[in-house]
């Protein structure tokens, strides 16, 4: 088998520093102290590919777009070209050039590392060469936003699927406008339809909603405790929790909120709910560093899985990094309708040991009092 491998080295850099993407924001991400995450995820995928198919022929692009990671994983790759490195950075044009070289070389699969924007660049390049319906593609998820159904669940899954697939099917490449995304609007746009290896480990791009979340939002609000810091993730479900707590949060960002202890004068406030819900918004739309700085002695993350995909961590909320998660308890909330569309929940935190610790059965709040057991995989 001949596999073309290309890495977008800056994919996902803007996530943990609160930029919700890196398109046009690489310099700002670096100024905020962002560190690349894509090269490490590339290496994990290639290690898995090497273990599963050590005899595969790997074609790649020059550094920093895959060569070093390929050699570190034990491959002797065919380097088909080098990036232009305009202003010291790679570009979408470099990704497209690499994929066009792969197609000309007759690869059996394009394995890429990045997010939805990278997936769109890969599809555009295959379309330009006339190979869009012939050469399958598979993504190693590394971006902040991963709406497309062309990505494996984890880097290791990508390597294994690339080595073992025997058939493909059509999947959609979706992308969103990052400026709109940063302002709280999500309008996924269909960019292409490509062939993708068929495997149970591939995620769906289907975004499911439906069902009221008012009851579960009241349940979370009922349970808040003075002295506890609440880290509230993105999305409409947790957005209902934020509204129930009495503040307008960031719709697609992470907010940090803490209960203000009741005084003798207002201890009877909100008696119908059993306690006062007065609180202080410590951080709105925070970066990883801002969230860590706001944490207290007791902390709870409230997060909802992505509908149709089931990811609790690792898609759309990279600010909730391993360092943040390890300092918090985790409460998962979801409507019954959302859970009905999921076989299990998923995690992909960039920390395999933490992923393993999070796996197993967990209780998901689905109402004011009701919970449902779900397996985390």
pLDDT interval class at 264 (50, 70, 90): very low
Give the C-alpha separation, 89 to 201, whole Å.
32
Task: Report if pTM > 0.75.
Answer: no
pLDDT of residue 269: 44
pLDDT of residue 190: 79
For residue 332, give both structure tokens: 């998962």
Q: What percentage of the chain has pLDDT greater than the value 70?
A: 82
Give the list of residues 6+ apart from residue 147 with CB closer than 8 angstroms, or none.
116, 174, 175, 176, 188, 205, 207
When the pLDDT of each residue in the chain is averaged and rounded to a whole number, the result is 85
Q: Are 205 and 172 in contact (CB under 8 A)?
A: yes
Q: How many residues are given for the chain?
A: 377
Stretch 8-14: mean pLDDT = 78
Question: Per mean pLDDT, which range of 104-118, 170-184, 341-355 is the poorest?
Answer: 170-184
Q: What is the mean pLDDT of residues 246-270?
A: 74
How far is Cα 350 from Cα 315, in angstroms, rounded to an integer? 11
Residue 108's pLDDT is 97
Q: How much is the pLDDT for 177?
A: 63
pLDDT tens digits for 273-304? 333 457 899 999 999 999 999 999 999 999 99
pLDDT tens column, 146-200 = 778 899 988 999 999 999 998 999 888 887 665 555 455 555 677 888 999 987 6
Which of 6-10, 34-38, 131-135, 316-320 comes out lowest in average pLDDT?
34-38
pLDDT of residue 297: 95
Token pair belonging to 300? 């709870």
pLDDT per residue as tens digits for the range 356-365: 999 999 999 9
Average the pLDDT over each of 3-7, 104-108, 225-229, 322-326 and give the range with the smallest value: 225-229
pLDDT score at 206: 43
pLDDT at 86: 80
Determine the pLDDT at residue 209: 37
pLDDT at 236 over 70: yes
Domains of the chain: 2-197 (3.40.50), 214-376 (no CATH)
Is the pLDDT reported for residue 46 higher than 90? yes
Predicted confidence at residue 27, as pLDDT, reads 61
Q: Which of 12-16, 118-122, 272-276 has the highest mean pLDDT?
A: 118-122
């Amino acid at each position: 088998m001949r596999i073309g491998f290309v890495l977008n080295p800056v994919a996902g850099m803007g996530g943990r520093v609160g930029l919700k993407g890196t398109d046009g924001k690489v310099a700002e991400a670096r100024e905020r102290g962002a560190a690349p995450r894509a090269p490490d995820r590339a290496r994990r995928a290639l290690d898995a590919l090497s273990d599963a198919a050590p005899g595969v022929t790997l074609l790649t692009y020059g550094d920093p777009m895959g060569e070093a990671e390929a050699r570190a994983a034990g491959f002797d790759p065919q380097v088909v070209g080098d990036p232009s490195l305009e202003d010291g950075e790679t570009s979408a044009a470099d990704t497209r050039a690499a994929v066009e070289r792969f197609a000309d070389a007759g690869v059996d699969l394009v394995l890429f590392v990045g997010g939805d924007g990278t997936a769109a660049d890969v599809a555009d390049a295959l379309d330009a060469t006339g190979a869009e319906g012939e050469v399958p593609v598979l993504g190693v998820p590394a971006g902040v936003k991963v709406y497309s159904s062309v990505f494996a669940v984890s880097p290791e899954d990508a390597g294994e699927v690339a080595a073992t697939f025997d058939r493909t099917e059509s999947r959609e490449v979706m992308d969103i406008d990052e400026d709109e995304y940063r302002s709280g609007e999500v309008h996924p746009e269909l960019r292409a339809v490509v062939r993708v290896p068929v495997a149970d480990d591939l995620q769906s791009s289907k975004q499911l909603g439906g069902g009221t979340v008012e009851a579960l939002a009241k349940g979370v609000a009922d349970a808040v405790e003075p002295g506890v810091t609440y880290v509230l993730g993105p999305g409409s479900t947790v957005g209902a929790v934020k509204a129930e707590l009495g503040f307008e949060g960031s719709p697609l960002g992470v907010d940090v909120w803490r209960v203000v202890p009741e005084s003798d004068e207002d201890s009877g406030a909100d008696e119908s709910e059993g306690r006062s819900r007065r609180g202080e918004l410590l951080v709105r739309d925070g970066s990883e560093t801002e969230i860590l700085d706001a944490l207290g002695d007791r902390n709870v993350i409230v997060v909802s899985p992505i509908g149709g995909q089931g990811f609790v961590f690792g898609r759309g909320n990279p600010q909730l990094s391993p360092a943040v998660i390890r300092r918090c308890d985790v409460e998962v909330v979801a409507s019954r309708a959302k859970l009905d569309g999921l076989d299990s929940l998923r995690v992909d935190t960039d920390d395999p040991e933490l992923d393993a610790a999070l796996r197993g059965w967990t209780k998901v709040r689905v109402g004011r009092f009701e919970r449902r057991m779900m397996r985390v995989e």
